[in-house]
Amino acid sequence: MDITIPVLGGLGLFLYGMNLMGMGLQKAAGEKLKRLIEILTNNRLMGVIVGALVTMVIQSSSATTVMVIGFVNAGLMDLSQAVGVIMGANIGTTITAQLIAFDLVGYAPLAVAIGVIIWLMSSRKRHKDTAEILIGFGILFMGMDMMSSGLKPLVGNPTFSNIMISLKDPFLGVLVGMGLTTILQSSSASIGLLQALASQGLISIDIAFPILFGDNIGTTTTALISSVGTNKTAKRAAIIHFLFNLIGTILFMTILRVPIEAIVMKISPNDIQRQIANAHTLFNIVNVLVQLPFAGLLVKAANKLVPGDEGELETGIKYLDPRILETPSIAVGQAKKEVLRMGKLVDDNLLAASKAFKDKNEKLTSEVFTQEKAINRLERDIIQYLVELSNAPLTDEQHIEVNILFNIVNDIERVGDHAENIAELTQVAIEDRLGFSNEAIMEFDNIFDKSHEAFKNALGAFKEENYDLSKEVLKLEEEVNYLEEKYRANHIERLNKFLCQPSAGVVFLDLLSNLERVSDHSSNIALYLID
């Protein structure tokens, strides 16, 4: 118990501090992190750089890889891009071990104290993000110190010494590293524990090496578990992560172990913590340099291990994946893409409803009803995602953006309802064999064009954050209101002159009302952006 409690407590502080520091860095990066992902191209080297930088920010290669699986599953990234990011993530995760090797334990309480003071004294977002980084940094090192102190009683313990002797078997060492990282779900934490053992003289570099390599394989289990229930391409991304680290471990255990061990001992002959950190860094850098030219073969191997085609895309969400919630700045951007996609589906349905009315096409009305059901399902999925996103650690600006998305989704769905209403009115007109005058058809075309233009412009303004286009929507909404009143009066006049059937008149007036409501919801979308 004298060992277990401080070690577990220290490990808990370490993990919490790393997570807190990662969240602070992520919020401080904000839109910059989002732009890093957006600059991804088929250039794998760029993918490596982006993967390394993102992992340095969020402090977890597992989180980056899980996020990549989410991107692939959402169709945001292909395997060619994913390979580079996964490789880069392995490099980025080495920063934590390097920080630990600096032995900054003495500064940890000061970092926490400064962080708390900044948090309490300042209300500015940027200052609070900085405070989180400092507090997380301090707690991380305090946890590391607690682990190291808790392990002191093991010095000279014969049972522990025998265990360490058994770990001189490289294969067993790799298995221990795999198991430890799988349990902790963090290679940084397992390597931190390894460095804590080394700081007390409880482990030598020749024992640490195989465990270190096993840690890198163990970190892939998170991604493999995360890939369950995803599409085939996302599963292949997880397989690539596993193969990359497995091949690297085999390579280092058979060929590169001796020269790498010699290099790290020469660089830091009397500092085993630094030796472990440098070995971890060199393993991942050299592994990337060796395997990057053969990334295409990794993709082929993954395709062989996970055979088959994706088949047709489902009608549900395309850009959203729960794994992306780990990086809120990117998740917000993906949510916006999905809302715009929903808007496009509604726009298509609105056009289809109009064509169905003018052509008296019953088949087309059925297609509108089918599409509306899919839109409603999509709306529910988006709302659920936005609820989860709103509970993530967002900045004030991101909270505002998520609230706007909630409102816009609702207005887009209501436009979809009006498209369905137009289809239902069309169905009534077809079943009752209702006829409309040429004047009425011309009026319908005119007000529909204005309403549809308002909706398209509203979506465009939302996509581009275009203030001027938002104002155009408001002008169009006023025009539609005027036309609705004018055409309603015209139609009543036609009814009074017996120029059309009363039942047809009711349908026509309902059509006008629905189109006016389309422009109202378009105006709402524009106002969210202006306000």
Q: Which of 70-79, 196-205, 261-270, 497-506 has the highest mean pLDDT?
A: 261-270
Angle separating helix axes 79-92 and 94-101, nearest 10 degrees: 10
Q: What is the reported pLDDT for 311?
A: 44
Q: Which of 12-16, 46-50, 324-328, 343-347 has the highest mean pLDDT?
A: 343-347
Distance, in Å, from the CA atom of 440 to the CA atom of 419, rounded to the nearest integer, reads 19
By residue range, what is the domain housing residue 47?
Answer: 4-152+161-305
Q: What's 445's domain CATH number? A: 1.20.58.220
Sole residue written with tokens 């340095």: 56
Would you say 352 and 334 are in contact if contact means Cβ atoms under 8 Å apart? no
Query: Tens of pLDDT along 96-145?
Result: 778 777 777 778 888 899 999 998 888 787 788 888 888 988 888 888 77
* Last residue in a domain, options 275, 305, 335: 305
* Last residue in a domain, options 256, 280, 305: 305
Diameter of the chain by CA atoms?
Answer: 108
* Amino acid of residue 76: L
Mean pLDDT of all residues in 317-329:
78
Spacing of C-alpha 206 from chain mean position: 39
pLDDT band, very low/low/confident/very high, at 160 (cuts 50, 70, 90): low
pLDDT at 520 over 90: yes
Q: DSSP 3-state assignment of 291? A: helix
pLDDT band, very low/low/confident/very high, at 268 (cuts 50, 70, 90): confident
Query: Tens of pLDDT along 459-478?
Result: 999 998 888 899 999 999 99
Query: Tens of pLDDT along 363-384?
Result: 999 999 999 999 999 999 999 9
Question: Model-level pTM?
Answer: 0.65
Whether 299 is covered by a domain: the verdict is: yes
Mean pLDDT of the chain: 83
One domain for residues 431 and 287: no
Whether 429 is covered by a domain: the verdict is: yes
Mean pLDDT of all residues in 394-404:
87
pLDDT at 315 over 60: no
One domain for residues 283 and 358: no
One domain for residues 328 and 278: no
Sole residue written with tokens 């059925």: 366
More confident: 211 or 24: 211
Distance, in Å, from the CA atom of 422 to the CA atom of 177, rounded to the nearest integer, reads 63
Whether 140 is covered by a domain: the verdict is: yes
One domain for residues 189 and 228: yes
Mean pLDDT of all residues in 287-307:
88
Whether 457 is covered by a domain: the verdict is: yes
Query: Tens of pLDDT along 45-76?
Result: 788 888 888 777 766 777 777 777 777 776 66
pLDDT at 299 over 50: yes
Mean pLDDT of all residues in 212-224:
82
Whether 314 is covered by a domain: the verdict is: no
Whether 375 is covered by a domain: the verdict is: yes
One domain for residues 233 and 354: no
Mean pLDDT of all residues in 385-407:
89
One domain for residues 273 and 329: no
Distance, in Å, from the CA atom of 356 to the CA atom of 359, rounded to the nearest integer, reads 5
As for how many domains the chain has, the answer is 2
One domain for residues 278 and 399: no
Q: Where are the alpha helices (DSSP H) in 465-501?
A: 467-496
* Last residue in a domain, options 305, 333, 360: 305
One domain for residues 327 and 276: no
- Rounded to the nearest 5 degrees, what angle is found at the Cα of 68, between the Cα atoms of 64 and 72? 175
Whether 257 is covered by a domain: the verdict is: yes
Whether 310 is covered by a domain: the verdict is: no
